[in-house]
Structure 1
């Protein structure tokens, strides 16, 4: 029994390690693809050289991110057949087609036009290149669509029937794909990808402004990143609230773990908002709890006396690891609040005409460079660990989803994955920081001379230019 539990823990750790890296790279790909599309649209519309300079600057980072992300994605796909054959056997009729469509439609769509995007600037007509960039951007969203549809189905399964052998058989593909949690998960994850990109763009701009306050490209990056935070961070708060309502209705144990709610409040009292607590799985209670009465009901039920399901209503074997879910949720929410405040601070400073002189704000954005992706990882931990001990929520336990392999085999594959990932990711991170530490080149006239000639615009050094 101990050997089986340890093997399961190793298999889960391997998958968590693999997807933890991949989700950051995939989200950055989604966000950067949309950002590159915006930059190229601005270049074609305004013809200002700074937009082309920024496009070329971020396209290099995009290429690096895609190259590293492909390695992590391939490894994740193989994990289903090696460590999770039980899940593949039982749910393969549903998950298999969605994973296949993700590769066939999205991955090949992106890969097919990636070469045009990265190497076609100045070699094909501008509208053809823009179309290729748009296809890659749309392809990244389609890829997220199928992956999140599969994940959401495991969270809130629908549109299936159980066969005599326990296999999940699809009977309504629309219900399978557009399952109860999918719309909110898709919206929430897309916004998270864009927010992670916004934090990095703002940080990059702030970093270069601290060294050269007159650099136009850095000003554009800093300004765009703050605009994205101002719009997306409050939107993410709304989407998170709607997603939380969906979780309340379809995964009540997960919500109880997020709130650290072991027992219902006293009669007449509402659910408190727990700011701090140390959940104890053995005693099934919180230690050192600091809470504000009734406020939890306000955002959970939109009144002051609403109730939710509590953890002690469920058997111990049906509970997730409450401390991890509880604190991951607070990390996600806390960083979300900081992003909202940063976006609002950027607007206030902008309206006062001090955006380029606010060095404190530039330093803050540099510190917040990883904030979007850290918040996204925390949210992923809430989502995935909160549904434990199930892979298909309420129907297929994680222990029944694992492959019948030895501890030595899983330990060996986990060690290999850790070594390869750390090497690839470390090298990729080193190149990323090296690329971002250099300011965008102001001279891009050699890239698309035909466009510069047709528009009658020479390439001027951006230093000292107005925004």
Structure 2
């Protein structure tokens, strides 16, 4: 393989690993704020209920800290590749990308990390209002980090607000750069993807705790929160996804053609449930289609026109990975919808008692723990592969910004990255499993004074 393909594979490996963790931490920060708020609201009313919310907050704070750490480390590694593998990118668009990346770094390291310390270690050391505010600032910081990254990525998809002078991009309007045509849809789509990923993580780990007979005080409440969040937000994500698709059809029609496997411009294009796109013969094999379905979904008209890939000779993304990645994303989304609705209905019938749920359903919940990762990665591949052969859509080709590093060196580091990332993923999942099975070991021990008072009240010796 040449250096271009290997560099793209290496960046894909890095971004695939990195995106797993912000996808959880963005929404989990807000859920921690909710858990903390619920504890403050119930601690003077129902001690048992309040303790359940406090246990949930403490347990999921540990999950957040682990996730945040891996997200930061993998993000730093990814940023190095702009210099090692893609030096031409910053040479051409550094005036746009540099400040946006700088704002994200300031947000992540100074806002999130600073208040994360108070959130992790400040319980019973600072006031409750300060601690609640710190939790809010961590949640806000994760969302603000996503804002800057999505602003840059959306600008690379639908560039606006710039001018080109001597081959270099300069900002003409920061408002137009940040709030480019696709940004609102991508930002909303990503926030919802994070919420759904986090919801199924809550559902899955809580189900695992129930199956293992641990976490009784918090698992039931956390599972209810996850199921409710998923059941409500998946329909919203479908609506936002439809709006995002219409925006993509307007600004990146070649991407839509590759996703749908449309080769020739036609009206009333069918929706392909399955096919094998053939880039050499420029046609599909083994089609299973719904007549007029693609036109109806994408144009909201039965006879709506869709441009085909043959209208973009030599300047369109590869249809095979686009076609299947899009269907994996949608298929996983439909499975998540069915699971959340069925689960919420059965859980309500069980009066919110997880022990009354069928074990088969609990195993289904546990098996869906990381389903959000599958949908998110598939959707991210659609986004990034669909921009090819451009790094800035329609303006800068990917091949023009790759480095001159020998392909053997890129291949070696790619192998090392993949091996390391696989090991870290296995370790992350193993640690989550350990934490879920032994939540009591992760909760802080009572202070010595509390132990002494408890012993006196029980008639013991101190």
Tell me the TM-score normalised to structure 2 length: 0.91
Question: Counterpart in 1 of 2:349?
Answer: 352
Q: Does 1:311 align with 2:312?
A: no
Match of 1:112 among 92, 107, 114: 114
Partner-residue secondary structure (3-state), 1:128: helix
Give me the whole-angstrom Cα distance separating, in 1, the residues matched to 2:191 and 2:235. Answer: 14
Give me the whole-angstrom Cα distance separating, in 2, the residues matched to 1:109 and 1:414. Answer: 32
Question: Counterpart in 1 of 2:383?
Answer: 383
Question: Counterpart in 2 of 1:369?
Answer: 369
Per-residue displacement from partner, 1:316-370 (whole Å, max 9, x unpaired)? Answer: x212111100000000001111111122213322443465322232222111111
8 Å Cα contact 2:350-2:357 kept in structure 1: no
Q: 1:215 to 1:291 in 2, by over 3 A?
A: same
Q: 1:293 to 1:449 in 2, by over 3 A?
A: farther
Match of 1:301 among 285, 293, 299: 299
8 Å Cα contact 1:258-1:325 kept in structure 2: yes
8 Å Cα contact 2:59-2:443 kept in structure 1: no
Query: Counterparts of 1:437-448 in structure 2 under 5 Å?
Result: 437-439=437-439, 446=446
Match of 2:154 among 145, 152, 158: 152
Partner-residue secondary structure (3-state), 2:302: coil
Which stretch shifts more, 63-72 or 20-29? 63-72
Give me the whole-angstrom Cα distance separating, in 2, the residues matched to 1:441 and 1:410. Answer: 43
Which stretch shifts more, 401-410 or 327-336? 401-410
Question: Counterpart in 2 of 1:37?
Answer: 33
Question: Counterpart in 2 of 1:161?
Answer: 163
8 Å Cα contact 1:107-1:143 kept in structure 2: no
Give me the whole-angstrom Cα distance separating, in 2, the residues matched to 1:51 and 1:115. Answer: 21
Q: Does 1:215 align with 2:186?
A: no
Question: Counterpart in 1 of 2:124?
Answer: 122
Question: Counterpart in 2 of 1:195?
Answer: 196
Which stretch shifts more, 355-364 or 150-159? 355-364
8 Å Cα contact 1:259-1:273 kept in structure 2: yes
Q: CA deviation at 1:182?
A: 0.5
Q: CA deviation at 1:9?
A: 0.7
8 Å Cα contact 1:320-1:387 kept in structure 2: yes
Q: CA deviation at 1:59?
A: 1.0
Partner-residue secondary structure (3-state), 2:2: helix
Partner-residue secondary structure (3-state), 2:284: strand
Q: CA deviation at 1:440?
A: 5.4
Query: Counterparts of 1:228-243 in structure 2 under 5 Å?
Result: 228-243=229-244
Q: CA deviation at 1:106?
A: 3.6
Q: Does 1:138 align with 2:140?
A: yes
Structure 1: gaps spanning 5 or more residues:
459-467
Match of 2:286 among 288, 301, 308: 288
8 Å Cα contact 1:247-1:254 kept in structure 2: yes
Question: Counterpart in 2 of 1:75?
Answer: 77
Per-residue displacement from partner, 1:65-106 (whole Å, max 9, x unpaired)? Answer: 122222211100110011000111001000000000111234
Question: Counterpart in 2 of 1:20?
Answer: 16
Query: Counterparts of 1:243-258 in structure 2 under 5 Å?
Result: 243-258=244-259
Partner-residue secondary structure (3-state), 2:272: strand
Tell me the TM-score normalised to structure 1 length: 0.90
Question: Counterpart in 2 of 1:402?
Answer: 402
Which stretch shifts more, 403-412 or 131-140? 403-412
Give me the whole-angstrom Cα distance separating, in 2, the residues matched to 1:134 and 1:195. Answer: 20
RMSD over aligned Cα, in angstroms?
A: 2.2
Structure 2: gaps spanning 5 or more residues:
44-49, 458-462
8 Å Cα contact 1:72-1:421 kept in structure 2: no
8 Å Cα contact 1:301-1:307 kept in structure 2: yes
Partner-residue secondary structure (3-state), 1:428: helix
Q: CA deviation at 1:214?
A: 9.6
Question: Counterpart in 2 of 1:276?
Answer: 274
8 Å Cα contact 2:212-2:437 kept in structure 1: no
Which stretch shifts more, 103-112 or 55-64? 103-112
Give me the whole-angstrom Cα distance separating, in 2, the residues matched to 1:69 and 1:133. Answer: 18
Q: 1:140 to 1:63 in 2, by over 3 A?
A: same
Which has the higher relative contact order, 1 or 2, with Cα contacts under 8 A spaced 6 or more apart?
1
Give me the whole-angstrom Cα distance separating, in 1, the residues matched to 2:217 and 2:203. Answer: 14
Give me the whole-angstrom Cα distance separating, in 2, the residues matched to 1:214 and 1:419. Answer: 34
Give me the whole-angstrom Cα distance separating, in 2, the residues matched to 1:354 and 1:410. Answer: 56
Structure 1's consecutive aligned runs of 4 or more residues displaced over 4 angstroms after TM superposition are 439-445, 447-450
Question: Counterpart in 1 of 2:97?
Answer: 95
